[in-house]
Structure 1
Amino acid sequence: MKESALDRVGLPASIDAERMTLGSVMVDPEVLPGVVAELTTDHFSTEKHRRIFQSMLRLSELDERIDRVTLANDLMRRGELESIGGLSYLMELDEGIPQRLNVSGYIGILREKSALRALCHLGASLSERAALGIECAEAIATDTAERLTGLVATNSSGMPATVASIIEGAGTQMLGRSIEESSRGIGLGLWPELSRRMPALLPETLCILAAPPAGGKTTLLLNLVMHASLSGKHAIVFSLEMSGEELIRRWVCAGAKINSQHLSKGTLNEQEQREAIFQLGEISGLAIRIDSGNSDTPAKIRAAVHKVRQKQPVDLIAIDFLQLVQPGKGGLRGTEAADYVAYQFKSLAREFKCPVIALSQFSNEGLDAMKEGRVSLRYARNSGAIYQACDYGLILYPKKLGPGEVVSESRIPMRLKIDKHRNGPEGEIDLLWDKPRYRIFEAAE
């Protein structure tokens, strides 16, 4: 077997940088707070350096001076002095330390070497798990991706930004948000009242749209996607319930305003046929991509979006629906699975800097509560942290009819409740659902 680089040179480390860091603290204990802000004991590769650093931290907490003598006494009390090389090694630490300390440079080297060691350990763990074959490939890949993300976050400097730098980077956008919100995100000009309350779904946000089973949520989602696409946006629809052909059929019916039953039965009149053909041409020219059930886990959805991003922008991700997406991690069921998926969708929005709209069904408890007038996203099926994960929470539900009130299938009274809105007011909007034509519009139209 070919010898690996790890076998030849061992785990990445810089003993000199570790020694210079510890020696700098001994020369000038005032630098310790800056070191502690950036390093932990795990950033040191050798056990003796870890023990010396821990001793420095203990002395600092006791407000004692840090020097050779105090370090030796502390380590001796714990029976660790000989293990670090004795007093002679402590005396060597501050030898050769330059007058002008470069502590930040030493810290940078230690953080880099520590990150490389962590990658080596992660790679070894990945190889072992894959070789054992106990877990499925997707579960291993998903867990590894999460650990890599955590490694990147841990290895970042963590330095809080100054107010001035934040204003320099985003001040203009903050002041202009009320005017430019729609152009920056996905405009919701589909209905005037909704546009007034929610001008746009902003980038890096998660919108959960909940409704009872067969309650019109897919129709509303497709209406929103079509409106965004007609405005020049690039959208991806992940449909775990319907085929791509069914989605297009619904868009054709909505755009041409033709009864879906006529299309299914082949009984369109001449005018309806012309409208349907025209709509097919319009839809084929839009920047919409459809994934019909191929991507049923957050990891697969993320991979699919990455592939699309290589060829075109991605302005909107729509998912139908949350509870059908499998976590891809063993052991997660019910509420835990739904919560994990919801937070993965939020991560997806941040990663691709676009809004994500995910549909959700109501639980049986939610359906009962709805009949009593209690409408809340917290009643979504398997909802634990779904409400906390989202930035916008919308609920589509049937409006309660008055005594003797009769409605037709083409004008079913509905309400859209803005149950959560991080950037604006909540409230309700009266809508009408044209069920045979897959259209939802404001009651005022």
Structure 2
Amino acid sequence: MKALEFEQGLPQALDIERIVLGCGVMDAQNNLPVIMALCREDCFTTAQNQLVFRCMCEMSAAERAIDKVTLMKELYAAGKLEEAGGPGRITDMDDGIPEIYNLDSYCEILAEKAALRRIITSMYGQTQILLGRGAGVAEIAAAKAAIADLDTETNRRKQGFQNMAELIRNEDGGGPRAYLVPTPESIGIQWPWLKMTDAIGGMRAGQVICVSAGTGVGKTTFGCAAIAHAASQGHCTAILTTEMSSQEQTIKIMCQRAGVNLHRWMEGKATRQDQDAVAAVVHTHLPSRIYVDEREQVTPAMMDAALTALKHDPPAVVMVDYFQLMESGLRTGDVNREQHLAHVSRQIKRLARKHKTCFLVLSQVNDSGSTRESKALENDATVIILLERQEGGAMKVKFRKSRFSARSDMYLGFDGATGLFFETENL
């Protein structure tokens, strides 16, 4: 057999590599988290591109500003500027780069090319071993293991239509039992209120649940109650907040779980009994199951990077507080605010599936009761919950959309002092 030589070479996409790196240096704040989440160093084929990508990752980890000038200085200080192609190449990195609205697709192309190169190289190596003299059972077993590793690495992603009978029989997917016997994952994480779980089911991976309400109605308090309940059941949860600081979110949840008057606590008038009740919550396992990410600006790319960083303990539920404060990461120009939020909505739906989590997206409503500024979120959401404050303090919970259950309304009692929602009879 000939050596590893191919007429067209190993799979690569140098033009896309240039676009991806150019986008990274052109707008590092928004684009680099996407690139780092989807690409590895071996996604780039040339030593120059790999060096530039590695340097950008190191600068990002050190929280240093990244642009053409700072990148060039970093490479020069490391004595690797010429190795990266020289000043001229770094200066021209973003020249002619068009506006990219689907950077993740470009990154996925590079990831696929890299996977193909790994498969081809590995299979060639295994073929050489199997063709060698003395190859036997041990070498066959090693080749099978190598193929299995590659299959796992590419995440066994299948394209196109699949026969339903084959899906049911597939043992990797759990076999027929996975379809005949409900699993905890298919049922979802229960809400703090039994009637709500009965009405719409639990919070399931891959779902986008939109909780809409007017200003000051209590959507953040409602979301915090759901997050804390999931965490109390042992599930990892996360809060992405631009509305409140991480400290405010933490105090809100601790007081809510302890049944302590939040306003009294924030005014510094907490009693000894209040302090003991909050301390009891603090010393449970609850705080360790809730992650809080406080940012002045949240984009889908940042969410993707933040969730990727939590892959050691992936959240089952992620609360976004709140939708209208998010940025798309797209360039301004002829794209209006509603188009920006439509992009955000689509990306949240994609991230829910990618990270196998449930997104609890808090959103404001307009005067007509619809999600403000974006019909896309209403289209993309699996469940839409509308909160309406009633006279006497009760909260009407309207299920405007639910794909897996009948739509209905219910009522919750609400204690504004402690932020506690509790089940009550319909008014």
Q: Aligning the two structures, in what range does the TM-score lie when normalised by the shorter sequence?
A: 0.5 to 0.7
Contact 2:208–2:359 under 8 Å retained in 1:
yes
Contact 2:199–2:406 under 8 Å retained in 1:
yes
- Counterpart position of 2:190: 188
Cα–Cα, structure 1 residues 198 and 173, in superposed 2: closer, same or farther, change >3 Å?
A: farther
Query: Post-superposition shift, 1:146?
Result: 3.1
Within-5 A mapping of 1:124-203: 124-128=18-22, 133=26, 138-139=30-31, 142=34, 143-149=102-108, 158-169=159-170, 171-177=176-182, 180=183, 182-184=184-186, 186-203=188-205
Cα–Cα, structure 1 residues 275 and 392, in superposed 2: closer, same or farther, change >3 Å?
A: same
Cα–Cα, structure 1 residues 145 and 285, in superposed 2: closer, same or farther, change >3 Å?
A: same
Contact 1:205–1:391 under 8 Å retained in 2:
yes
Number of paired residues? 307
Cα–Cα, structure 1 residues 192 and 296, in superposed 2: closer, same or farther, change >3 Å?
A: same
The C-alpha deviation readout for 1:247-281, integer Å capped at 9, x for no partner, is 12111221221211221222233322221221222
The C-alpha deviation readout for 1:306-326, integer Å capped at 9, x for no partner, is 1111x3232121111111110
Contact 1:229–1:288 under 8 Å retained in 2:
yes
The C-alpha deviation readout for 1:128-165, integer Å capped at 9, x for no partner, is 5567x4x5652476543232336779998734211222
Within-5 A mapping of 1:107-118: 116-117=11-12
Contact 2:239–2:319 under 8 Å retained in 1:
yes
- Counterpart position of 2:318: 317
- Counterpart position of 2:389: 398
Select the structure of larger CA radius of gyration: 1
Within-5 A mapping of 1:41-440: 116-117=11-12, 119-128=13-22, 133=26, 138-139=30-31, 142=34, 143-149=102-108, 158-169=159-170, 171-177=176-182, 180=183, 182-184=184-186, 186-282=188-284, 285-293=287-295, 296-309=298-311, 311-331=312-332, 332-366=335-369, 379-399=370-390, 401=391, 407=392, 412-440=393-421
Mind listing any 5+ residue stretches in structure 2 that lack a counterpart?
Answer: 35-101, 117-156
Query: Post-superposition shift, 1:192?
Result: 1.7
Cα–Cα, structure 1 residues 270 and 125, in superposed 2: closer, same or farther, change >3 Å?
A: closer
TM-score between both structures, scaled by the size of structure 2: 0.65
Contact 1:209–1:396 under 8 Å retained in 2:
yes
Q: SS of 1:238's equivalent?
A: strand
After superposing on structure 2, the runs of 4+ consecutive aligned residues of structure 1 that deviate more than 3 Å are: 12-15, 126-131, 139-143, 149-159, 182-186, 283-286
Question: Among the aligned pairs, what percent are the same residue?
Answer: 19
Q: SS of 1:436's equivalent?
A: coil
The 1-side partners of 2:291 and 2:347 are apart by: 21
The 2-side partners of 1:13 and 1:358 are apart by: 50
- Which structure has more relative contact order (CA 8 Å, sep 6+)? It is 2
Within-5 A mapping of 1:23-42: none
RMSD: 2.8
Q: SS of 1:207's equivalent?
A: strand
Matched letter for residue 349 of structure 1: A
Contact 1:431–1:443 under 8 Å retained in 2:
yes
The structure carrying a bigger helix percent of its residues is: 1
